[in-house]
């Protein structure tokens, strides 16, 4: 089970890295004794290895007998849930690479097949939950050092988009009193230009989300993947 979980999480983080940087260190990364300056692998090669690792993880998890139980913070040692997650990741990456597919119709049907083998509901999605004994790390960091505040750039975006959350998300750092949008406008620091102080700038409510889960892969995203695959298939068939 540990090997399967490890391969899935390695695949997940490798995709995050190559999606951000394109060609990036991968095959030599982490081997600090032999590769102090690891080479950048081609994104195409990284993605091939990502898919191979997910396939190997599914085989491994399909025939595992051990468990990690409570040490598994996502699925509590349930191998079938990890297989669902692996299939969800394969669906995500197959759709992400659709522009490179030799047969797009087949690739889109593969996406739908993978979706069918993945999450059946939100109860299956890959999330890390918190119960008060452990805390959302964004909250925990803020609570521990009181070193974060809201920035004016976020406020400006909310106002420009007429987002109703602008009237709800801001609070006084000292007393946690609620601020309305017009009250907080002049109190927020410019990005990169705050004074070094505590309990001065307003906080946003997201800093206090003590029990908010971290979504690694949500059921909602899987539904969007399914919808996009169906829409693309419909477009191909119509054309």
Crossing angle of helices 104-116 and 79-96, rounded to 10°: 160
Summarize the confidence of residues 119-123 as an average pLDDT: 97
Q: Could you tell me the pLDDT band of residue 3, with boundaries at 50, 70 and 90?
A: very high
pLDDT of residue 113: 98
Q: How many residues are present in the chain?
A: 239
pLDDT at residue 26, rounded to an integer: 96
Q: Which residues pair with 178 in a beta bridge?
A: 171
Whole-model pTM? 0.82
pLDDT for 146 beyond 80? no
- Enter the tokens of residue 83: 């297989």
106 has a pLDDT exceeding 90: yes
The alpha carbons of the chain give a radius of gyration, in whole angstroms, of 22
Q: What is the pLDDT of residues 4-19, one digit of tens each?
A: 999 999 999 999 999 9
Q: Are 135 and 128 in contact (CB under 8 A)?
A: no
Number of C-beta neighbours around residue 98 at 10 A:
16
Report the distance separating Cα 87 and Cα 39, nearest Å.
30
| Mean pLDDT, range 131-142, rounded to an integer | 83
- Distance in angstroms (rounded) separating the CA atoms of residues 80 and 239: 39
φ, ψ of residue 128 to 5 degrees: the values are -105, 125
Query: Taking 80 as the threshold, does the pLDDT of residue 239 lie above it?
Result: no
Q: Is 139 helix (H, G, I), strand (E, B) or coil?
A: helix
d(CA 67, CA 1): 6
* CA dihedral of 80, 85, 89, 90, whole degrees rounded to 10: 10
């Amino acid at each position: 089970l540990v090997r399967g979980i490890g391969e899935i999480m390695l695949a997940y983080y490798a995709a995050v890295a190559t999606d951000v940087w394109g060609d990036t260190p991968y095959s030599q990364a982490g081997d600090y004794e032999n590769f102090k300056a690891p080479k950048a692998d081609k994104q195409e090669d990284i993605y091939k290895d990502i898919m191979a690792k997910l396939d190997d993880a599914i085989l491994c998890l399909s025939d595992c007998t051990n468990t990690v139980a409570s040490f598994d913070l996502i699925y509590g040692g349930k191998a079938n849930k990890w297989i669902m997650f692996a299939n969800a990741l394969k669906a995500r990456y197959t759709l992400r690479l659709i522009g490179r597919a030799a047969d797009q119709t087949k690739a889109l049907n593969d996406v739908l097949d993978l979706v069918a083998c993945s999450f059946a509901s939100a109860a299956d999605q890959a999330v890390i939950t918190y119960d008060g004994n452990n805390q959302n790390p964004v909250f925990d960091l803020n609570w521990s050092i009181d070193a974060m505040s809201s920035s004016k750039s976020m406020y400006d975006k909310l106002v420009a988009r007429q987002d109703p959350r602008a009237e709800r998300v801001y609070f006084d750092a000292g007393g946690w009193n609620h601020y309305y949008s017009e009250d907080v406008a002049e109190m927020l620091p410019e990005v990169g230009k705050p004074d070094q102080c505590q309990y001065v700038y307003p906080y946003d409510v997201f800093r206090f989300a003590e029990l908010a889960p971290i979504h690694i892969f949500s059921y909602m995203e899987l539904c969007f993947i399914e919808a996009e695959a169906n829409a693309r298939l419909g477009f191909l068939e119509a054309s």
